[in-house]
Amino acid sequence: MKTITATIINSLIGKEIPLPTYSTTGSAGIDLRACITAPLTVPAGETRIIGSGIAIDIHDSNLAAVLLPRSGLGVNQGIVLANLVGLIDSDYHQEIKIAIWNRSSTDFTINPGERICQMVFVPIVQVNFQWVAQLEANGRDGFGSTGVS
């Protein structure tokens, strides 16, 4: 298991709000919680940015963290991430902020300490482009070119 350096930005973390953890031994994502002092209502169709209360230092340019919505909130409540997926680069060391979008037609209230997204660490490969005049034909002609919907 890789170790990532983390710091508590908001003193609620580790006291009133649990530290981020994996929910089970098989969980791919670490649950991040709403680091807020009072319930926050996200009106239908609107976005709010919520602090996680932590910052991380990945220390490895071959890794990044990805923020993903919690499936239960998305399917049951219409609560997803505003940018659908958040990317935390290895050189970002500020508080992790979570942009929540209420895509439903009903207001939704987020409570202090509620799990609102998950963070997964992924390998990164940086590339160089080799610029050519034209790409080799491969028989595919665009979006949905496999013929499968």
Q: What is the rounded CA–CA span in Å between residue 43 and residue 124?
A: 36
Count of structural domains within the chain: 1
Task: Provide mean pLDDT across the span 64-74.
Answer: 95
Q: Residue 90 falls within a domain, yes or no? A: yes
pLDDT of res. 28: 95
Q: Considering the entire predicted model, what is its pTM?
A: 0.88
Which pLDDT tens digit goes with each residue over 83-127?
999 999 999 999 999 999 999 999 999 999 999 999 999 999 999
Cβ partners under 8 Å of residue 127, min gap 6: none
The residue written with tokens 């049951």 in the block is: 76
CATH code of 93's domain: 2.70.40.10
Q: What is the rounded CA–CA span in Å between residue 30 and residue 21?
A: 5
Which pLDDT tens digit goes with each residue over 121-138?
999 999 999 999 998 887
Higher pLDDT, 93 or 143: 93
Q: Residue 88 falls within a domain, yes or no? A: yes
User: In the structure, what pLDDT confidence band is assigned to residue 140 with cuts at 50, 70 and 90?
Assistant: confident
Q: Residue 54 falls within a domain, yes or no? A: yes
76: containing domain: 7-123
Q: Mapping DSSP to helix (H, G, I), strand (E, B) and coil, where does residue 71 land?
A: helix
Tell me: pLDDT of 43 over 90: yes
Q: Residue 138 falls within a domain, yes or no? A: no
Tell me: pLDDT of 141 over 80: no
Average pLDDT, the chain: 94
Q: Residue 1 falls within a domain, yes or no? A: no
Tell me: pLDDT of 142 over 80: no
Q: Residue 2 falls within a domain, yes or no? A: no
Q: Residue 147 falls within a domain, yes or no? A: no
Task: Provide mean pLDDT across the span 27-39.
Answer: 97
Q: Residue 149 falls within a domain, yes or no? A: no
Which pLDDT tens digit goes with each residue over 2-18?
899 999 999 999 999 99
